[in-house]
Structure 1
Amino acid sequence: MRNEGYRCILYTDLCNPNSNAIYRRIGYCAVAEAIQYRFA
């Protein structure tokens, strides 16, 4: 996909070390953190 100009973006839960380890193993790397706020 990258060769065709597309970007892959993956949002993860930092509290889940198992899935984050898998994502790193397949080539993803952390580039930023985001915070989501909800107002009721």
Structure 2
Amino acid sequence: MPLSNIIAIIALIITTAMGLPDMIVSAITLYRTLRPGHGRHRK
């Protein structure tokens, strides 16, 4: 496997890992919007 392919894969993994928290926050926000007033401050 060429070195450029390995670098591209690593860059993709890093980008995905950095974007993951934003996706989780978006999912939680969407979930709370769909289910309003269900369990305040419950973790």
| Pair in the same fold by TM > 0.5 | no
Structure label with greater radius of gyration: 2
Higher helix share: 2
Tell me the TM-score normalized by structure 2: 0.29
